[in-house]
Structure formats: structure tokens, C-alpha cells
Amino acid sequence: MIKNDLFLRALKGETVDRPPVWMMRQAGRYLPEFMELRKKYDFFTRCQTPELASEITVQPIRRYGMDAAILFSDILVIPQAMDIEVEMKPNFGPYLPNPIRSKEDLENIIVPNIGDTLGYVMDAIKMTKEKLNDEIPLIGFAGSPWTILCYCVEGQGSKSFDKARGFCFTQPEAAHALLQKITDTTIAYLKAKVKAGVNAVQIFDSWGGMLSPKDYQEFSWPYIQQIVDALKELAPVIVFGKGCWFALGEMAESGASAVGVDWTCSAQNARYLTKGKVTLQGNFDPARLLSPPETIKKMVTQMIREFGKDKYVVNLGHGILPNIPVENAKAFIDAVKEYSE
């Protein structure tokens, strides 16, 4: 039994005194204690060493006391496990030296055995659960198949992922074959994460908003729906799509317990589009954490009033930025904990 189960209760839609709070990318570069470890170990060493991954996961919890922890890892461990080389270059970001551009490239892509390739993630989960001591729930995550395809085809980050979209539109069969392999791997991976102890899972469709609403229905949504279908009986599922307000209706009907909202969609519009059916999560503009702490607190209180305290998880509208002062992140969390009607 988890002592602070506010987050899990909000995912079930239960009535609460205040909404739970966590921040996307809360384990990361705005924290001085994270930067210390970052000096000593490269990115994938941090991901692959359960002692380090679990330590980084609990760092923000110790400092701020969020209502949920998210396992430190990365969405790109999936292509890595599928035998696609992934590097994390300092001051550059992800780099995949052999991007997928043709049907032939696809032949080498495997749907791996999760225990053999990603066992270290399961060990990190078990170690994190011990450190959390059942105080708060632990979230596991994966990228959406479309978002993973973006990196596999583009080979690096991009503002528009033109090559990835071009691949889908010129070689749709190959694109669908790749999306299905990623989906199969992701389902097995998330099932293993739940078995190892995570209490909820979130799917990040970070680049869903690059697709037109129509193309989203072809290249992103059906694969997310497969993942929700496979997971929803095992753990609550949160679907977050950046720039995907147009898909909030489908997301609300999908069987997911919660739907993420970014800051370009108002609370009122998100409730309207999801017909009040589902718990919503979001949507503070990450750059708004640069405002003075007093302003942040007022805006957070206002945001809770707009979403309503029930069926709601307070979060940012995307990941926290590296340049956020630690006291501003604290103001965000504290404002939620101090909330009362």
C-alpha cells in the first residue's frame, strides 16, 4: 500500500482535497545535485546503472516532495534495444549514426527480448521502489511509436522532423512496419516495467503535433491505442501528446486514465474536448517557471481553479527547462500543496 496515493486516486477520478503534482522531466538539469552526477557519468551510464538511475529519480522528491516520482531513463532506450545505435552527444542531444531511410534498413531492426536488453531498467525500478519505501507512486514511461520513429529516421533532434514525415509519406508501408515493431517492443517493455513495480505508465508523444490531424490518425494514434489496450488492465495509463489538442477527444475515449495537455490549450477547451470524461494533466508553460515565485504561485492557484481540483494532476505542459531556478520549481510544487478551496 502506498502512503501518499493522491496521484493514483486522481487517476481513478476520485474526489480529493487537492490535486497531486509532479513535473515532466523533474529528474534533470535544473537540479544542482543532478549536475554533480552528470559531471562524473555519461548519459547512458546514468540510465544503465540502477544505483545512479534510482538516485537521480529520488533527488527531486527529497528536495520538493512531489506526489509521484518518474523513473530516470530515456525514451531512446527502446531503439537502442532494437539494435539501432543511439548516442547522447553533449550540447547536441540524441544522435543516431545509422538512421532508417529505406525498407532495407528495416530488415536489421529486431523486436528484442526485453529481459536481455532492458533488464537494467527493471533493476532500476526495483531499487527505486526500495528507496521510495512506498511513500509515493512511481511512474514508468515510453515514447510513442511515432515519436521514436522521428528519431530513428531523422537521426537527431529537429524542429520539424521533415525527414521522418517524408519517410511516412513516401514509404508508408515501411513506416507502418517500423511503427509496428516499435509498438510491439514498447508493449513488452511497459508490461515488464509494471511487473517490476511501476504504479502507472505515461506515453510521451512529444512530436505528435508535427503531424496534421489526419496524418496523426494514420501514423501516431492507432499505435498509441494499441499500447493503451495492452496496458490499461495492468496499470493506469497517461497519454501526453505535445501539440495534440486536436486528438484530445480520441485520447479521452481510449481507455487511458489521464490525458496530458500542453500550455497552448486552455483548461476549459481541454475539458470541453474530453467531455469531462477523463483526468487531465498539465499544463503550466515551462517557461512560466521563470516568473517570480509569487507570480508562479498565483498562476498555479488560478490553473487549479480552471481545471478543477478533481480529475486533475498538476504538471507542466512539457518538460522543465534546464535554466529554471530551484526556488521557482519549489514555488510551483508548494502552491499545489498549499491549495485549498
Binding residues for substrate: 25-29, 44, 74, 151, 206, 318
Q: Is 30 in the site for ligand CP3 (CB under 6 A)?
A: no
Q: Is 74 in the site for ligand CP3 (CB under 6 A)?
A: yes
Q: Is 27 in the site for ligand CP3 (CB under 6 A)?
A: yes
Catalytic residue among 25, 46, 165, 271: 25
Residue 283: asked if its preceding bond is cis (omega within 30°), the reply is yes
| Alpha helices for the chain (secondary structure H) | 6-12, 32-40, 43-48, 50-64, 77-81, 103-107, 114-132, 145-154, 162-170, 172-196, 213-219, 221-231, 248-253, 267-273, 293-307, 326-337
- Are 236 and 258 in contact by the 8 Å Cβ rule? The answer is yes
Taking CA 147 as the corner, what is the angle to CA 281 and CA 33, rounded to the nearest 5 degrees? 65
Q: How many residues of this chain interact with ligand CP3, rule: CB under 6 A?
A: 23
In DSSP terms, 258 is beta-bridged to 238, 279
> Quick check: is 229 catalytic?
no
- Which window, 86-94, 129-137, 248-256, 266-274, contacts ligand CP3 (CB under 6 A)? 86-94
Q: Is 332 in the site for ligand CP3 (CB under 6 A)?
A: no
What SS3 state is found at 283?
strand
* Least spacing, CB of residue 107 vs ligand CP3, in Å: 25
Q: What is the DSSP annotation of 154-190?
A: HSB--SS-HHHHHHHHH-HHHHHHHHHHHHHHHHHHH
> Quick check: is 74 catalytic?
yes
Question: Phi, psi (5° rounding) for residue 264?
Answer: -85, -5
* Least spacing, CB of residue 280 vs ligand CP3, in Å: 18
* Least spacing, CB of residue 17 vs ligand CP3, in Å: 26
Nearest to 329 by CA among 32, 75, 72, 10: 32
Among 32, 93, 115, 276, binds ligand CP3 (CB under 6 A): 93
What SS3 state is found at 131?
helix
Catalytic residue among 29, 41, 105, 215: 29
**Closest to ligand CP3 by CB, 95 or 222:** 95
Nearest to 248 by CA among 296, 219, 216, 223: 216
Q: Is 24 in the site for ligand CP3 (CB under 6 A)?
A: yes
Catalytic residue among 9, 38, 63, 101: 38
Q: Is 280 in the site for ligand CP3 (CB under 6 A)?
A: no
- Are 152 and 99 in contact by the 8 Å Cβ rule? The answer is yes
Q: Is 193 in the site for ligand CP3 (CB under 6 A)?
A: no
Among 72, 146, 161, 307, binds ligand CP3 (CB under 6 A): 72
* Least spacing, CB of residue 341 vs ligand CP3, in Å: 29
Catalytic residue among 9, 41, 63, 74: 74
- Count CA within 13 A, CB hemisphere, residue 123: 13
In angstroms, the Cα distances linking 54 to 3, 51, 71 are 19, 5, 7
**Closest to ligand CP3 by CB, 26 or 117:** 26
> Quick check: is 25 catalytic?
yes
Q: Is 141 in the site for ligand CP3 (CB under 6 A)?
A: yes
Catalytic residues: 25, 29, 38, 74, 151
- Tell me which residues touch ligand CP3 (CB under 6 A): 24-29, 38, 43, 70, 72, 74-76, 88, 93-94, 141, 143, 157, 204, 206, 318-319
